[in-house]
Amino acid sequence: MPSPTIDFRTIRPHHGSQHSGFEEAICQLAALETAPDAPFHRKGAGADAGLECYRVEADGSETGWQAKYFFEFGSSEASQLTESLSQAIARHPQLGRFIVGLPFNLSDGRVGNRISERDRWNRWVQARADAILPRVVTIELWDETQLIERFSRNEPQYAGRRHYWFDLLHFTPDWFQTRFAITRKALGTR
């Protein structure tokens, strides 16, 4: 049975907006990828110093996440990311990784002299790396494909979030085992 499609345009609102819902979902995924003994910090609404959340690595460096709920990557969106990264670098001196969550895949149409979203992203990453030298911060992208892969993992903590954020059930082996145990108990010795 094919799984229903995850559509980030239908993500559940959080605090009244889908933008906040996307930010919260990214932070929940980030928390799932954090070891239990690593300090993880979710920032509240408002002045977030360029990060939605971050974790402190064993070496003292920080990995931070920034979620942007937009569905294109033009110069305006690149400017917003530049502002977030600049704030994160200024206020998190130990930042070593900056992960950007976007709810879509960058287009890579190579048409004439137009700059594709992928080219714009690559240029943005290089420009930011050059601008902060000698400091080095690795910039990574969690795009639609990577986010769907995470939400589709066959583990209860991911399946629960998929159901919550998108109203989509993901039938894991645990789900079937639980339903079988309930049915078996109800049948008794029959």
pLDDT band at 187 (very low <50, low <70, confident <90, very high): confident
Q: Is the pLDDT of residue 1 over 60?
A: no
Total count of domains within the chain: 1
Asked whether residue 1 is domain-assigned, the answer is: no
Q: Peptide bond before 13: cis, by omega within 30 degrees of 0?
A: no
Q: Is the pLDDT of residue 140 over 50?
A: yes
Domain residues for 136?
8-187
Asked whether residue 3 is domain-assigned, the answer is: no
Q: What is the rounded (10 degree) CA torsion for 141, 162, 7, 126?
A: 0
95 forms beta bridges with 62
Tell which wins on pLDDT, 159 or 38. Answer: 38
Asked whether residue 144 is domain-assigned, the answer is: yes
Structure tokens at 131: 């601008």
Asked whether residue 146 is domain-assigned, the answer is: yes
In angstroms, what is the C-alpha Rg of the chain? 20
Asked whether residue 2 is domain-assigned, the answer is: no
Contact of 66 with 81, CB cutoff 8 Å: yes
Predicted TM-score of the model (pTM): 0.85
